[in-house]
Amino acid sequence: MVPHAIKALTFDVFGTVVDWRSSVARAIDDFSRRKGLAIDAAVFADAWRDLYDPAMDDVRAGRRPWINLDDLHRESLLKLLSRYGVSGMSEAEIDDLNRAWHRLDPWPDVVAGLGRLKRKFILATLSNGNVALMVNMAKRAGLPWDVILGAEVARHYKPQPETYLRTAAFLALEPQQCMMVAAHPGDLDVAARCGFATAYVPRPLEYGPHAPQERKSERRYDAVATDFLDLASQFGC
Amino acid sequence: MVPHAIKALTFDVFGTVVDWRSSVARAIDDFSRRKGLAIDAAVFADAWRDLYDPAMDDVRAGRRPWINLDDLHRESLLKLLSRYGVSGMSEAEIDDLNRAWHRLDPWPDVVAGLGRLKRKFILATLSNGNVALMVNMAKRAGLPWDVILGAEVARHYKPQPETYLRTAAFLALEPQQCMMVAAHPGDLDVAARCGFATAYVPRPLEYGPHAPQERKSERRYDAVATDFLDLASQFGC
């Protein structure tokens, strides 16, 4: 049962809500075929994702001014294309491929689960993805967010505490009135240190069927659910 | 017919989407009765609204740092309560009365009209209301926004051009891909100067049945509709 003080559920998105890896790999595979290349799409997708955290680190550390995730993704993409020896793409082609991150498919339980959770809670994104990315993804996939918050409006990337605290502040809620929902223990641990309640929804297929599973955090969560439908049932939605 | 380049409709909210005057007056009337006072609720609502623009002017002019609309409303409310000789209210009572602005009713066409427009466009708020106010209002009234933008995330109050331009930027759209929907010619005129398309939806009852009607702007709009259902029909939604 959910503590009755909770007013908003704040969601990690990449991995928790959407299957970024299969979706990005699909886009890379299409691109690779169209160009007559022989790129291993899943390897490319993982490499793209791997460049994401170090790219944000410069922003987190104040070594460079704010830059949103679309622009960071594009920088990483240019590096990867160069590494793969792909050249001669137009700016429009690069932009379109970069927008693969706007076209991510949700896990199968997500749309129905969010629809039920929305009856009782404010549903907010608390992702490092920028606003346009989140809006376009939601529009395509039918994700019924009440509000798009997180890194771009907080001007801080997770796991910086400001990302969580400013999200709660935008909602005019105390952190204790917010519950972070994520598939990643590290995200939940920082949220908990900020005062948020936590719901752990593991997504064992995030890194593919053969990936090692994420190490469990030692922290106890306020809720653990197999998917969003289970979470909705636990919360009486 | 809507220009096919338009991707997002951005909405003024107070007056255009919701009937703030009747809703606030109702809250004042309830409060007045509970307290055994004899406040003319519509006069109080108008006076509260009248304090709103000068309060924002200090922020617009940089004479004071950013402060959101909930806090500006609360300052205005305290002034008015003092002017009406009301004292002895608890902080919680003041907060609850101030949140009358979170509990505004939409005009009768709004929920159905937005539902239809949402099929074809991104629906974004572009209001001076802060995020929590917009979210709570939407949740109560069933307004199906895709994203809450506007003053608080742009850190500028309308009619400053930054409010419009940053809203488009958050959506990763050119101003020309956005259409401002408002009942107020002044709002539409600034939006047009920023490059937005414009849709004028007059709300002749905004200031009550006997109020003088807003002077028409000399600018021509891209669309003029009697309400949101008419707008949806004109746009083929």
pLDDT of residue A142: 98
Closest chain B CA to residue A154 = B153
Q: Which pLDDT score is estimated for B2? A: 64
Query: What is the torsion angle, in degrees rounded to the nearest 10, for the CA atoms of residue B165, residue B171, residue B173 and residue B175?
Result: -30
Q: How near does any CA of chain B get to the CA of A213, in Å?
A: 34
> Which residues of chain B does A172 touch, with a Cβ-Cβ cutoff of 8 Å?
70, 130-132
What per-residue confidence (pLDDT) applies to A57?
93
Confidence of residue B159 (pLDDT cuts 50, 70, 90): very high
| DSSP structure class, residue B101 | G
Cβ pair B132:A170 closer than 8 A = yes
Put simply, the answer to whether A149 touches B170 (Cβ < 8 Å) is no
Judge contact between B219 and B188, C-beta under 8 A. yes
Asked whether the beta carbons of residue A172 and residue B146 sit closer than 8 angstroms, the reply is no
Residues of B engaging A, defined by a Cβ cutoff of 8 Å: 70, 122, 130-132, 134-135, 138-139, 145-149, 152-153, 170-173
pLDDT digits (tens, 9 = 90+) for B187-221: 999 999 999 999 999 999 998 888 777 666 556 89
Residues 6+ apart with CB under 8 A from B125: B10, B11, B13, B134, B145, B147, B148, B149, B150
Determine the Cα–Cα distance for residues B131 and A146; give it in Å rounded to an integer.
Answer: 11
Cβ-defined contact of B146 to A139 (cutoff 8 Å): yes
Chain A contact set for B172 (CB, 8 A): 70, 130, 132
Is the backbone peptide bond immediately before A159 cis, with ω within 30 degrees of 0?
yes
Between chains, do A122 and B131 touch, taking CB under 8 Å as contact? Answer: no
Which residues does chain A have within 8 Å of residue B147's beta carbon, measured at their own beta carbons?
A: 131, 134-135, 145, 147-148
Q: Do B147 and A170 count as a contact with CB atoms less than 8 A apart?
A: no
Residues of B in contact with A147 (CB under 8 A): 131, 134-135, 145, 147-148
Question: Rounded to a whole number, what is the distance in Å from the CA of B132 to chain A's nearest CA?
Answer: 4
- Do B171 and A131 count as a contact with CB atoms less than 8 A apart? yes
Q: What SS3 class is residue A106?
A: strand
- pTM greater than the 0.90 cutoff: yes
> Pick from B70, B139, B172: which is nearest to A132 by CB?
B172
Check residue A209 and give its pLDDT: 84
Q: What is the pLDDT of residues B133-157, one digit of tens each?
A: 999 999 999 999 999 999 999 999 9
State both tokens at A118: 């929305």
Q: Which chain A residues are closer than 8 Å to B168 by Cβ?
A: none
Contacts A–B by Cβ distance under 8 A: 50
| Model pLDDT for residues A22-69, shown as the tens digit of each residue | 999 999 999 999 989 989 999 999 999 999 888 899 999 999 999 999
> One-letter amino acid identity for A184?
H
- Which residue of chain B is at minimal alpha-carbon distance from A142? B146
Closest Cβ–Cβ partner in B132, B139, B146 for A138: B146
pLDDT for res A145: 98
Classify residue B230 by its DSSP letter.
Answer: H
Three-class DSSP category at A78: helix
d(CA B192, CA B219) in angstroms, rounded, equals: 9
Across the range A138-157, mean pLDDT stands at 98
The C-alpha of A170 sits at a distance from chain B's nearest C-alpha, in angstroms, of 6
Taking CB atoms and an 8 Å limit, are A135 and B122 in contact across chains? yes
The pLDDT of residue A45 is 95
For the stretch B81-101, pLDDT in tens is 999 999 989 999 999 999 999
What pLDDT does residue A215 have?
Answer: 64
Which residues of chain A make contact with B114, given a CB cutoff of 8 A? none
The confidence band for A219, taking pLDDT boundaries of 50, 70 and 90, is: low
Task: Verify whether the Cβ–Cβ distance B147 to A135 is below 8 Å.
Answer: yes
In B63-99, which positions are buried (b, 16+ CB within 10 angstroms) versus exposed (e)?
eeeeebbbebbbebbeebbeebebeebeeeeeeebbb
Q: Confidence class of residue B62 from pLDDT cuts 50, 70 and 90?
A: very high
Contact B217, B186 (CB under 8 A): yes
Sign of CA dihedral B172, B178, B184, B187: positive
Q: How many angstroms separate the CA of residue A214 from the nearest CA in chain B?
A: 32
Q: Which two tokens stand for residue A167?
A: 């999200």
Q: Give the pairing type, strands B8-11 and A223-224.
A: unpaired
| pLDDT tens digits, one per residue of A189-213 | 999 999 999 999 999 999 888 877 7
- Which of A102, A148, A171, A174 has the highest number of chain B CBs within 10 A, making it the mutation to test binding with B? A148
- What type of residue sits at position B171? L
Per-chain mean pLDDT for chain B: 94
A148: nearest CB among B70, B147, B152 = B147
